[in-house]
Structure 1
Amino acid sequence: MTKLKHSSASATATRIAAGDDRTQYDAVSILLHWITVILVLAQFGLAHTWGFAPKPTRHLMIVGHMSFGIVLSAVLIVRIAWRLVPGRQSPAAGAGWVELAAKGVHYLLYALLIGEAVLGFALRWSGDESMSFFGLEIPAPFAPTSKATHHAIGEAHDLVGWAIIVIAAGHAAAALFHHYVLRDDVLKRMLPGKAGDA
């Protein structure tokens, strides 16, 4: 009986971490999800490796980071707009606390991603530098801030970036636990070409 309760608690905890509210996902939602994953990993990788690169390469990596950040911002806008279109998301199978908590994981990741995008623009512009979109300069729409403010924005940008990676890693680990240990359809609902079962 204790083992059964522990197993049920594990399943509940991983459902929440996986953001599983038993929603069925359409092909566009799946595509946008995986584009987001790739861009987030690319952004994190670039930001934490350009310090080891020689100056010409480092500059290209920073420009790439800014450019992919703008692409990621656009993808987030499309994702949110797509989710708001009626009929694009099936209602959750239940309205209990597990479904609400799982949905909360999704909303938290959205909020962090949006916050990170805003901080990225603010960081560049607060230092009196243009954003670059694959070489196209986007000048600051406001005057540069003090060095202390610029530094604080940079710290916040870094902190939120780490929070996204940690939560996303837990989210992914929970989905893999469901797939390989619990052997249910949580992960399948977000894989291309797999019909999910609610």
Structure 2
Amino acid sequence: MNSLKLDSPTRYDRLTIWLHWLTAALVIFLFASSQIWDQLAKGTPLRKGLQSVHISCGILLAVIVIGRLLWRLSRGRRLPAVNQGLIGIAAKTAHLALYLLLLSQIVLGFLFRWAQAEPFNFFGLFDVPTLMTFDKSMKSVFGGLHEQVAWAIVILAGLHAVMALVHHYGLRDDTLRRMLPERDSI
């Protein structure tokens, strides 16, 4: 049994690590960009440009989250939980909630954009087809939900980051190191 523990990996695989940090960077950018354009005058080129990049990065986030889930379910490295009991259950629940919120946010983003009945594209490379049409009144419903879920993601992801730091600096365990690339592989 001890030899199994010594031979087991101590970090997630490279792809899992990169997808994790890319997800985090996109979530931060998407949230920040929406907060910034709220401060800009409506109809200005800067505001419209920021919204366009936000939409394209949201589409990119959708691809990454779906890829991340498929990788996790199929080939991603699974590590044993660092904590057992209530802390372990809380960590698993928080991870599941983050995935569900991200998926909800992606769906709401598309629904909101389709409810606006305006065409949109992915970094100017191709147009995103309209798969559903909605009454214009749904625009405010989807937009409000999209904003609320964004705040929930930011709060939960912030707690996730704080707990990683508590594990690293307070508990002095390997929780954070498991999601960092090895220094040799950078």
Shorter-chain TM-score: what band?
A: 0.7 to 0.9
User: What's the % identity of the aligned pairs?
Assistant: 41
| Matched position secondary structure for 1:141 | coil
Query: Aligned residues, how many?
Result: 172
The answer on 1:104 being equivalent to 2:89 is no
Measured in 2, the distance between the counterparts of 1:174 and 1:93 equals: 12
Query: Could you tell me how far apart the structure 2 residues matched to 1:53 and 1:160 are?
Result: 22
Q: 1:91 deviation in Å?
A: 4.0
In the alignment, structure 1 segments of 5+ residues that lack a partner are 1-22
TM-align CA RMSD: 2.0
The residue number in structure 2 matching 1:38 is: 25
- Gap change, CA 1:29 and 1:69, over 3 Å in 2: same
Which residue does 1:18 correspond to in 2? none
Q: Which has the higher contact order (CA 8 A, sep 6+)?
A: 1
Q: Which residue of 2 aligns with 1:57?
A: 46
Kindly tell me: are residues 182 and 24 of structure 1, through their superposed partners in 2, closer, same or farther at Cα, counting changes over 3 Å? same
Deviation at 1:86, TM superposition (A): 4.5
Which residue is 1:142 aligned to?
Answer: 132
What is the CA-CA distance between 1:82 and the residue it aligns to? 0.6
Map 1:96-135 onto structure 2 (within 5 A).
96-135=85-124
Residue 192 of structure 1 corresponds to which residue in structure 2? 181
1:177 matched residue in structure 2: 166
Residue of structure 2 in register with 1:13 after alignment: none
Which residue in the other structure is 1:157 paired with?
A: 146
Amino acid of the structure 1 residue aligned with 2:27: V
Residue matched to 2:4: none
- Relative to the length of structure 2, the TM-score reads 0.84
Output the CA distance in 1 between the equivalents of 2:91 and 2:83: 11
The secondary structure found in structure 2 opposite 1:132 is strand
- Give how far 1:138 is off: 1.5
Extract unaligned runs of 5+ from structure 2.
1-9
